[in-house]
Amino acid sequence: MQHFRVKTDIRYGFGALASLDELAGQRVLVVTDGFLANSPLMATIRQALGGATVEVYDRVTANPDTATVASGIVVFQRFKPHAVVAVGGGSPIDAAKAIVTLAEAEADGAPSFIVIPTTSGSGSEATSYAVISDPASQSKVPLTSESMLPDIAILDPECVRTAPPKLTADAGLDAVSHAVEAYVANDHSDFSDAFAEKALQLLCRWLPVAYKQPDDLAARERVHNAATMAGMAFNNAGLGIVHSLSHAIGGLFPVPHGRLNAMILPHVIAFNAGPLGWGPATLTPCALRYAHLGLMVDVKATTPRGRVLGLIEDCRKLAARLDMPTTMSGAGIAKAEFQRALPRLAEAALHDRCTAGNPVAVGVHDLEAILTKIA
């Protein structure tokens, strides 16, 4: 028996933020960062929460750590919220997930957990994962719990309207990598395939528009919805070595997660697909799945082999249209420094939890070879 879990009530489209007014009369703890706490968006959210008693915990910083979570739990325990509302990109959402889950264990009843993403990419509003930094062990600790799956996700394009192009590109390409990785991951299913296919179709069509024309709100809306669909896909299907490698590199070099994924993705598709013969019978099951995904995104090729190559090329072109670098040196990291770190990065990627979801077994030398390609 397999599971496809769907828990989150997804409220989308313009005006979706207004549904916060149903929290009138309740105690609402908003978890966010210092920048968003003073933004016009927060004023809109506060207005929608007009009838509620609101406390804002705004001490979340990038890569939230155990201390941030611990002080959030203190606020939670003092305030005893009926609802927790996370507002932000991956960091405030991850911090809120950890606060809700750890504080909930000691609370009398679980508060409702609402997530309002302000970037279109991580899919965190539809997943049961969070990553918290632990300064003591100098590591990032992945947390997973069903209680981290939000009860409600509010996808209002108003929340991403002012996201700068670089952020739109980095986050959007993270979503692209979620869709492609989930499509071939070991736990994929007909259900996760449906979300991955549609997410990738929407992203290929609308992400370049949202990047070039940030005020195109129709494009913003499609990209925002697609990122959540990709999150629903990978929350059930798993991910693969694009994320293993990206986690390892991101722990050592300050390059955004989605930018790394875009750089790595074409090489991982080529690796996972294996040698591409000319007839369908010569392609591996994984290569045939990539070929089918190519067909879904309108790759113009008549053979499965051509569709795999076309999918790789489309991923490259999409990243190029978003002005992404194709190498670490292009991303500002000295080649020699990156090459020195290669063995350590490959080893870390091998032990990353996403490696188990990759459709093809990998060894440390495979990972080093992929890393060498992006030096």
Q: How far is the CB of 149 from Fe ion (least distance, A)?
A: 17
Give the 3-state secondary structure of 124-192: HHHCCEEEEEECCCCEEEEEECHHHCCCEEEECHHHHCCCCHHHHHHHHHHHHHHHHHHHHCCCCCHHH
What residues numbered 158-187 form the site for Fe ion, per CB under 5 A? 174
1 burial type by CB count under 10 A (0-12 exposed, 13-18 middle, 19+ buried): exposed
Q: How far apart are CA 92 and CA 115, in angstroms?
A: 10
Query: How many other CB atoms are found less than 10 A from the CB of residue 309?
Result: 20
Q: How far is the CB of 230 from Fe ion (least distance, A)?
A: 9
- If binding means CB under 5 A, how many residues of this protein chain bind Fe ion? 1
Q: How far is the CB of 186 from Fe ion (least distance, A)?
A: 17
Based on CB atoms, which residue is closest to Fe ion, 174 or 221?
174
- Residue 362's SS3 state is coil
Q: How far is the CB of 24 from Fe ion (least distance, A)?
A: 35
Q: Which residue has the tokens 């960091």?
A: 91
Based on CB atoms, which residue is closest to Fe ion, 81 or 117?
117
125 sits near Fe ion (criterion: CB under 5 A): no
Q: How far is the CB of 354 from Fe ion (least distance, A)?
A: 9
Chain centroid offset of residue 161 CA: 19
Residues 6+ apart with CB under 8 A from 137: none
Q: How far is the CB of 247 from Fe ion (least distance, A)?
A: 9
Q: How far apart are CA 119 and CA 240, in angstroms?
A: 22
Tokens for 291, please give them: 């070929």
Based on CB atoms, which residue is closest to Fe ion, 158 or 174?
174
Per DSSP, what are the bridge partners of residue 152?
A: 9, 114
Q: How far is the CB of 239 from Fe ion (least distance, A)?
A: 7
Based on CB atoms, which residue is closest to Fe ion, 104 or 174?
174
Q: How far apart are CA 111 and CA 75, in angstroms?
A: 14
Q: How far is the CB of 132 from Fe ion (least distance, A)?
A: 16
Based on CB atoms, which residue is closest to Fe ion, 251 or 274?
251
Q: What is the largest CA-CA distance in the chain?
A: 65
Task: State the Cα angle at 79 between 77 and 82, rounded to 5°.
Answer: 95
- Per the CB < 8 A criterion, the answer to whether 26 and 52 are in contact is yes
What residues numbered 210-269 form the site for Fe ion, per CB under 5 A? none
Q: How far apart are CA 243 and CA 249, in angstroms?
A: 10
Based on CB atoms, which residue is closest to Fe ion, 58 or 187?
187
Based on CB atoms, which residue is closest to Fe ion, 158 or 352?
352
Based on CB atoms, which residue is closest to Fe ion, 239 or 312?
239
Q: Which residue is nearest to Fe ion (CB)?
A: 174
Based on CB atoms, which residue is closest to Fe ion, 89 or 310?
89
- How many H helices and E strands in the chain? 13, 8
What residues numbered 276-335 form the site for Fe ion, per CB under 5 A? none
Q: How far is the CB of 115 from Fe ion (least distance, A)?
A: 16
Q: How far is the CB of 122 from Fe ion (least distance, A)?
A: 6
What residues numbered 133-152 form the site for Fe ion, per CB under 5 A? none
Task: State the Cα angle at 12 between 46 and 242, rounded to 5°.
Answer: 105
Based on CB atoms, which residue is closest to Fe ion, 210 or 265?
265
- Which residues contribute to the site for Fe ion (CB under 5 A)? 174
